[in-house]
Every structure is written in structure tokens, then in C-alpha cells.
Amino acid sequence: MSLDATQAALAGEHACVYGYGVVGAHLPDGGPAALSALAAHRERRDALTALIRAAGEDPVAAEPGYALPSPVTDEASARALAVLLEERLGGLYADLVGAADSPELRELAARGVVSVAVQALAWGGAPAAFPGLDGRV
């Protein structure tokens, strides 16, 4: 297993779990879409944690809090945060696709790239030809 890339993806999932708490708090009706996204991130977080533990390593822990890139004060800023969370995580999953040393880990990472790209679009993000690789050489 590529431990560094797997740990980085796990850290990204931790950040998304935190971020979706903020997103959901600023959406009407508690944000069913945010709750759905939160559940997906928790599921992938748990899968990554299990893989790291199965390899005999300690998974990176979630931070007690995360600095947001900008204030979230309304629905528009909540949606912008959701797009940013997904796009950043897409890069981490793209890195994991390239670093994965097993078909199972590569599949998990590839599915992660697809899931976060679709989620970013659902929040109003722009489509990308190669999700997770935008702006990279």
C-alpha cells in the first residue's frame, strides 16, 4: 500500500467530514444534499481507515478543527465551500490512483475521484476533463 497517499486521502476525508458540518448548517432544511455527501465521506473515511489498519499502520487522526478558506455565512458560501472540499479531495484521490499498489486500492481511489467530481458538479462546480488533475503537470 502507498501509505503516504492513502493517509493523505484519509486526511482529506476527515476535512470533508468537518466541512460538511459547516455546509449543512447554512443550507435550507438542514441540507439533505449535505447530509448525503457527509455519509459518503464517512463511508470512504472508514474504508481508508480500515485499509491502513489492515496494513498494520496507524491511520492519521482527524484534526479537532479546520480553518475554512473563507467565511461561510449563507447558502452561496456554503455551496462554494462544498465545491472546494470536493475539488481538493479529487486531487488527493488522483494522487492515490497513481500511487496505489493493488487493484483494490486503485479502484477505491478511482471511485473516489469520480464521486467527488460528481459531487462538485452537484454543488455548482465546473466540469473538468480530468478531475483531480486540473492545474497539474
Residue recorded with cell 438542514:
30
Sketch the domain layout of the chain as residue ranges: 3-122
Q: Does the structure show a pLDDT above 90 at 135?
A: no
Q: What percent of the chain has pLDDT over 70?
A: 96
The CA distance from 111 to 97, in Å, is 9
78-111 pLDDT, tens digit per residue, is 999 999 999 999 999 999 999 999 999 999 999 9
Classified by CATH at the fold level, domain 3-122 comes out as Ferritin (1.20.1260)
Residue 129's pLDDT band (cuts 50, 70, 90): confident
Could you give phi then psi for residue 30, rounded to 5 degrees?
Answer: 75, 0
Q: Does the structure show a pLDDT above 70 at 25?
A: yes
Q: What is the mean pLDDT of residues 28-49?
A: 93
Q: Does the structure show a pLDDT above 90 at 36?
A: yes
Q: Does the structure show a pLDDT above 60 at 117?
A: yes
Could you give phi then psi for residue 94, rounded to 5 degrees?
Answer: -65, -40
